[in-house]
Amino acid sequence: MKKIWKRLLVLCGIFILAASAFALYIHFSAGEPEEELEYEVWGSATLPIVASEVGDQRVNLLHGYTMEVDDTVMEETVMPVDEEGLLPLTVICYDCKVAAVR
């Protein structure tokens, strides 16, 4: 029994030493950043978002693109249909007008 307690005490000591060394390393190596970071605030969205509806929730937000999109992006999207087999969609516009949905 003494052997187990001795081994447990040694392992706890090693853990405390390792944790202390790691904390000191993190504390002293995380100095000031070399250069000042700049942030830019983006404007509001301009392209519409299409979302399918499940109950009162909007799911599968599909963001608008200004260029051709690879079809494999849409292959992984699961679109739920209601009991009648219809696909309820919502188009969310941000200061835009939707001319048509194809």
Enclosing H/E stretch for 92: strand 89-92
Counting other chains too, the contacts that 57-62 makes at CB distance below 8 Å and 24 or more residues apart are 58/90
pTM exceeds cut of 0.75? no
Residue type, 82: D
Q: Is the pLDDT of residue 20 over 90?
A: yes
Q: Is the pLDDT of residue 70 over 90?
A: no
Report, in this order, helix, strand and coil percent for the chain, each rounded to 5: 30, 15, 50
Cβ atoms of residues 94 and 47 within 8 Å: yes
Nearest to 51 by CA among 82, 86, 79: 79
